Amino acid sequence: MAFVYVQNPSGAVFDGDKLELRIAARDGGKLHVTSTSATKLHRMLEGSALQRNAEIAR
């Protein structure tokens, strides 16, 4: 089984950030996806941030 550890390289999520994660695995493949810690969110006075995760089996 493959293990994927997701980290935010900036250390936090800021106003206007757009984070997207796509993971593809073949049919019957086994995958464990996790993050190493909680994601920090900074104050967003004028906008928002977006995080989207997609897991795809092929």
Query: Domain limits at 26?
Result: 2-57
8-state DSSP, 39: P
Contact between 45 and 16 under an 8 Å Cβ cutoff? The reply is no
Which pLDDT does position 58 carry in this prediction?
Answer: 67
pLDDT digits (tens, 9 = 90+) for 13-50: 889 888 888 888 888 888 888 876 677 788 888 888 88
Nearest to 17 by CA among 35, 38, 42: 42
Taking each continuous run of H as one helix and of E as one strand, the counts in the chain are: 0, 4
Which pLDDT does position 30 carry in this prediction?
Answer: 86
Query: Rounded to whole angstroms, how far apart are CA atoms 52 and 50?
Result: 7
Domain count, the chain: 1
Which pLDDT does position 32 carry in this prediction?
Answer: 87
pTM: 0.57
Query: Rounded to whole angstroms, how far apart are CA atoms 5 and 30?
Result: 14
